[in-house]
Amino acid sequence: MSAAIPRITLAVLGLAVLASLPYLLDPYWLRIATGILMWAGLACAWNIIGGYGGYISFGHSAFFGIGAYAAGILMGARYGLPFGVALLVGMVAASIVAALIGWPTLRLRGAYFAIATWAFAEMLLQLATILEITGGTAGLTLPPLLDERFFFYAMLVAAVVTYGASYVLLERSRFGYRLKAVRDSEVAAESLGINTTLVKIQAFVLSAAIPAVFGGIYAYWITFINPTSVLGADITDQMVVMVLLGGLGHFWGPAIGAVSMYLVNRLIWTQWANTTAYIAILGAVIAVVVLFLPDGLVSLWPGTRRLRLVRALARQVGRQAPRTGAAEEKP
């Protein structure tokens, strides 16, 4: 109990500091803070299936785009629905789509699953360019709201809920333990009576619903969307890189990666706006971190090495489980 009190106190103080930022920052830095919150939430969502589940998805831009287009279509002149309703519809739509494509694709592993999710996102991108309801390549325009504070708080609430729900579900519930067991060894997890298919689909749906919410907020924030801006592969790529940079499968890894990459991104872009130099320098920075810190920036925190050893031991036990079981069945 005594250890929990400081954590709660730190969490409350952290939220108080974040909530005061709109009154402390100028418009430029407030916009950067809003962007960091969005990417921290997106990276956390991807980490659910990619880090805790062990399934590397390259199709999460599809769910971000579904949420963005739900807001763009439903809040447009034709329907004029409230912002909250549009977010809810986008989240539900992304969840249903994730369940439908997750059922067959989660039977695949490794590169096959990654390619399947990438193909789905690419198909959705091409579909959005030809459909009239999405505005095609011309895109959609949303009603403007000239209040930067509103979008900061919207992103803040979404990010806090995302990390809060992730902590409860992944670190403090049976679902989290089952998902990590599936990641370490599906065969061993099944031998323990875990419904691995159901656990994977639940994780994939949760990982898809969150980007849809951020996509809807982003669409309202930017006020204009087109297929490449909300369905482009670079959206997923940034989620993946942020998680790898911060620490794959670690709770705070996505947040650390998002803050680090977004700030470095802005710094490099400000100094070297030339596209070639920008990509080369950003790529070099990321490569150095990945090479020298394979477990991400979170590995610099004390105690991470011990956690890594525990995970390695769990995977080793998982690999040996089928052989042990087979030996016991022999007469």
Q: What is the DSSP string of 297-310?
A: GGGGSTTHHHHHHH
| Spatial CA neighbour of 201 closest among 182, 173, 174 | 182
According to DSSP, the β-strands at 140-141 and 224-225 are antiparallel
222-263: per-residue pLDDT in tens? Answer: 999 999 999 999 999 999 999 999 999 999 999 999 999 899
Our CA angle for 177, 56, 110, nearest 5°, is 100
One-letter amino acid of 96: I
DSSP 8-class letter at 25: S
99 is in which domain, residue-wise?
26-323
- How many domains does the structure of the chain reveal? 1
Burial of residue 285 (CB within 10 Å: 0-12, 13-18, 19+) is middle
Model pLDDT, residue 144: 86
Instruction: Give the Cα separation of 250 and 318 in Å (integer).
Output: 20
Query: Residue 96: helix, strand or coil by DSSP?
Result: helix
Model pLDDT, residue 265: 83
Query: Residue 197: helix, strand or coil by DSSP?
Result: helix
Q: Concatenated DSSP letters for 229-261?
A: HHH-HHHHHHHHHHHHHH-TT-SSHHHHHHHHH
Residue 282 has pLDDT above 60, yes or no: yes
Q: Judge whether 168 lies within some domain.
A: yes
4-49: per-residue pLDDT in tens? Answer: 557 778 888 999 999 999 999 999 999 999 999 999 999 999 999 9
pTM of the model: 0.88
Q: Note whether 72 and 219 are within 8 A (CB).
A: yes
137-167: per-residue pLDDT in tens? Answer: 999 998 888 789 999 999 999 999 999 999 9
Q: Judge whether 216 lies within some domain.
A: yes
Q: Judge whether 10 lies within some domain.
A: no
Instruction: Give the Cα separation of 254 and 45 in Å (integer).
Output: 9
Q: Judge whether 328 lies within some domain.
A: no
Instruction: Give the Cα separation of 162 and 154 in Å (integer).
Output: 12
Q: Judge whether 12 lies within some domain.
A: no
Q: Judge whether 329 lies within some domain.
A: no
Our CA angle for 14, 16, 22, nearest 5°, is 110
Q: Judge whether 293 lies within some domain.
A: yes
DSSP 8-class letter at 225: E
| Spatial CA neighbour of 204 closest among 77, 305, 62, 87 | 62
Q: Mean pLDDT over residues 61-69, rounded?
A: 98
Q: Judge whether 14 lies within some domain.
A: no
Residue 3 has pLDDT above 60, yes or no: no
Q: State the CATH number of the domain containing residue 214.
A: 1.10.3470
